[in-house]
Amino acid sequence: MLTEEQNVLLTRVGPGTPMGNLLRRYWMPVAGVSEFDRQPVKAMRLFGEDLVLYRDMSGTFGLVDRHCPHRRADLSYGFTENCGIRCNYHGWLFDQAGNCLEQPFEDVANPDADFKAKIHIRSYPVETKGGLVWAYMGPQPAPLLPDWEPFSWPNGFVQIITSTIPCNWLQCQENSIDPVHFEWMHRNWSVRLKGGTGPYGGRHTRIDFKEFEYGFTYHRLIEGMPDDHERWVVGRIALWPNCLGPNQHFEWRVPIDDENTLFVQWHFSRVPNEREPYVQESIPAWEGPVIDPFTGRFISSHIANQDFIAWAGQGRITDRTQEALGISDRGIILMRKQFLDDLKRIERGEDPKGIIRDPAINSCIELPIVSRELLTRGLPLAEMLDDPSLDPRNGFPNQYGQPESVRVAFLEAMGLDPNGEIADGSAFLITASAAGKKRMVWS
């Protein structure tokens, strides 16, 4: 249980707040690169600041203040040029560093004054990696954008999903080090959502938590699992400071402001061996709905959507003074302690946990990943079709709302047509003989 003062300290992320200053020291994924194929300018709110993310006509990304300093017009309605974004109100042009490049009337009426040299708008560095657009909003010098190894995995279909969750970022992130919730929120509740009353999944018998350089791992054993099972030996990553690390996907929880969180998922699906070498030309990005428009309630059918319900169900900012933590919450206690320690580190002028500055380290950084062999070496299509957890025709289980165009592109990458048949037209039937033999570990 935290004190009220500690709860405020860890949850408030606006400009000038201690936790906002801490999180700004890390690169944050904020969008998918392919989003800007459709529309080159996007309004964003990050850490309580209203901003505009854009890609100009030369392909350069910029993240700048949403409002033009001339008359405060909304730059999300601006238009891009070969370099920068131009305000649609009076034509002032700004580059990705926030410099004013043109003031069309002032440049003609009083060219000697060079008024534009005196104008500068807030801007933040932007980079791209893994099909994601990343922003750095902290002090200089900026650390390196981590090159996590899954970004280099070949022969995979990647998709990026974003959603806005109506609650504070910390209750989202604390979920990433809570192993027991899988038993109830995903397995058992899913049974009830489908109208059943059982059988439920196996119960957790042991859990453990370990620290490593880039975060924490949690380890769990469920009834019937041997002691050498990957879930116990390798574990799952709470990647520092605001990510659930891979098996085959990352999930970042990026603060929009104190009461809203941008959920960003990067998901890798290994194509069958017969499809190698497979090179994805463009990584699709789509927005996942959170609320069912017909009922007004949260969507509960998919894994991430069930998590959203747990996070937002605690309120916009949960009151941690009212908690009754148990033995299963040891990981959450470790996480909170680490954040408090990191705040002390930056007060001393030190880097917080997990910052990377050495280029020699920042190359395909290996992480502890369950199912690594399956994700990197792959399987023949017949074996994938034989396993319900790997069968591409069973849909995307992680999040609701996958667009039809992405579903079709995914099936094509797997060597299937939109009806789930092999590309030459012959159909495959699922057999039960190998079901469960090489199951992907979704949790």
Q: Are the C-beta atoms of 14 and 257 separated by less than 8 Å?
A: yes
Residue 381 parent element (H or E): helix 381-385
Cross-strand pairs, 164: 262
The pLDDT of 185-201, averaged and rounded, is 93
Please tell me the number of Cα atoms within 13 Å of 345 on its side-chain side. 17
The pLDDT of 420-436, averaged and rounded, is 52
pLDDT at 424: 64
How do beta strands 93-94 and 85-86 pair? antiparallel
Q: Based on the number of CB atoms within 10 Å of its own CB, is 139 exposed (0-12), middle (13-18) or buried (19 or more)? A: exposed
Most distant CA pair in the chain, distance: 81
pLDDT in tens, 79-89: 999 999 999 99
Please tell me the number of Cα atoms within 13 Å of 392 on its side-chain side. 31
Q: Are the C-beta atoms of 88 and 104 separated by less than 8 Å?
A: no
Q: Are the C-beta atoms of 289 and 402 separated by less than 8 Å?
A: no
pLDDT at 246: 87
**Residue 430 pLDDT > 90:** no
The pLDDT of 258-280, averaged and rounded, is 98
Q: Are the C-beta atoms of 411 and 420 separated by less than 8 Å?
A: yes
Nearest of 194, 243, 231, 178 to residue 439 by alpha carbon: 231
Q: Are the C-beta atoms of 248 and 268 separated by less than 8 Å?
A: yes
Residue 306 CB coordination number (10 Å): 19
Cross-strand pairs, 215: 212, 239
Residue whose token pair is 């807030």:
122
Sequence-distant (6+) residues with CB within 8 A of 281 are: none
Specify the length of the chain in residues: 443
In this structure, of 118-122, 319-323, 383-387, 427-431, the range with the lowest mean pLDDT score is 427-431
The pLDDT of 199-219, averaged and rounded, is 96
**Residue 437 pLDDT > 60:** no
Handedness of CA 239, 153, 63, 264 (dihedral sign): negative
Report residue 377 CA to chain centroid gap: 25
Q: Which two tokens stand for residue 256?
A: 């929009």
Q: For residue 359, what pLDDT band results from cuts at 50, 70 and 90? A: very high
Secondary structure class of 328 (helix, strand, coil): helix
Residue whose token pair is 């459709």:
38
Q: For residue 435, what pLDDT band results from cuts at 50, 70 and 90? A: very low
pLDDT in tens, 194-204: 999 999 999 99
Nearest of 70, 51, 59 to residue 122 by alpha carbon: 51
CA-to-CA dists, residue 390 to 44, 268, 393, angstroms: 36, 12, 9
Residue 132 parent element (H or E): strand 132-135
Q: Which two tokens stand for residue 157?
A: 């279909």
For the chain, which domains are there? 35-130 (2.102.10.10), 149-373 (3.90.380)
DSSP for 248-307 reads SEEEEEEEEETTEEEEEEEEEEEPPGGG-S---S---EEEPP-B-TTTSSBP-SSHHHHH
pLDDT in tens, 108-160: 999 888 999 999 999 999 999 999 999 999 999 999 999 999 999 999 999 99
The pLDDT of 90-115, averaged and rounded, is 95
Cα distance between residue 320 and residue 3, in whole Å: 7
pLDDT at 344: 98
Q: For residue 50, what pLDDT band results from cuts at 50, 70 and 90? A: very high
Q: For residue 247, what pLDDT band results from cuts at 50, 70 and 90? A: confident
Mean pLDDT estimate for the chain: 94
- Higher-pLDDT residue of 52 and 435 is 52
